Every structure is written in structure tokens, then in C-alpha cells.
Amino acid sequence: MLTFKTNKEKLLDGRKIQTLRRHGCRTGERLHIWWRNPRHMHTLKGDKPFKIGVAKCIECFPIKIDADGNPKFVVEYPKFYAVVEYDLSEEQKEEIARLDGYDTWEELLQALKDLNRTYEGTWYVIRWSKIRREL
């Protein structure tokens, strides 16, 4: 289950098709996408939680963000016990931000900091197919 409390309109109209989370998922996994967390329904004020729908994870990969907000792709080679990191280009950073519902990489970093107290560390970019609404 993925729950959200920002970018509601972009989730509903399909412009937001990814999220950054501390834990990844498997490609092909079913993702139940919710507006607000239904487990916290008794403490929430304002919008009530509701299920937006179900989507399939089409891509999940790790990135590492340093203290200055610079991201790197993380590629693991378990057979060789090696991890290699590659810098993301400006275009790749902006694409990640746009697919996550933000206009710039800096906006995405600020949202991560606001929601999680920090943007530093390893994050998993989770992308999904078109959300199928459930009635």
C-alpha cells in the first residue's frame, strides 16, 4: 500500500506516476494507492482517506542523495560484491521530479525534507502503470 498526502490532483489525473520511498518493491507487484493513510482515519482532520486504485510497479531502482542534494544511481553487482554509483544528469533529476509531481528537483528535495525530516540517504524510485480505479 502506498499512501500520499501531497499532489492529490496529479495522482488523480495521472501526472504523478512515481514516488520515492525508503523501501522498494518488486517490478510487477500490485500497488494499492491511497489518498491519506486509512490506518490513521481516527486522527485525521480534513480530507478523509480513500483508495485511488491499483497499479502495477513497472520500475523500481535505488538512488542515493547526499547532504548537498546531489543524487546518484546505485547499481549493485552481488556476484562481485560491488556497488557502483553514477551521477544523475540535470535532465534525469528533472525527470524524476516531474514524474513525482514536482516542477523542479529542488521542490522534490524540499518535499522529502518536509515529509521525512531529511532527503539524505538511499531512496527507491517506484514507478507504476496507469492507476486502475476500483468501484
- Whether 13 maps to a domain, the answer reads yes
Using the structure block, give the residue that is written with the C-alpha cell 546531489. Answer: 70
Rounded CA separation 33/11 (Å): 9
Domain total of the chain: 1
Contact 31, 2 (CB under 8 A): yes
Express each pLDDT in 88-111 by its tens digit.
Answer: 999 999 999 999 999 999 999 999
- Whether 118 maps to a domain, the answer reads yes
| Mean pLDDT within 51-57 | 96
- Whether 135 maps to a domain, the answer reads no
Rounded CA separation 119/109 (Å): 6
Indicate yes or no: pTM above 0.85: yes
Q: Does residue 69 carry a pLDDT above 80?
A: yes
pLDDT at residue 83, as a whole number: 87
- Whether 63 maps to a domain, the answer reads yes
Express each pLDDT in 28-40 by its tens digit.
Answer: 999 999 999 888 7
Domain with 33 in it: 2-128
Rounded CA separation 56/68 (Å): 33
Strands 30-35 and 2-4, sheet pairing: parallel
Rounded CA separation 28/48 (Å): 29
- Whether 61 maps to a domain, the answer reads yes
Query: By C-alpha distance, which of 71, 79, 76 is closest to 109?
Result: 71
- Whether 19 maps to a domain, the answer reads yes
What are the residues whose beta carbons fall under 8 Å from the beta carbon of 73, sequence distance 6 or more? 61, 62, 63, 85, 86, 87, 88
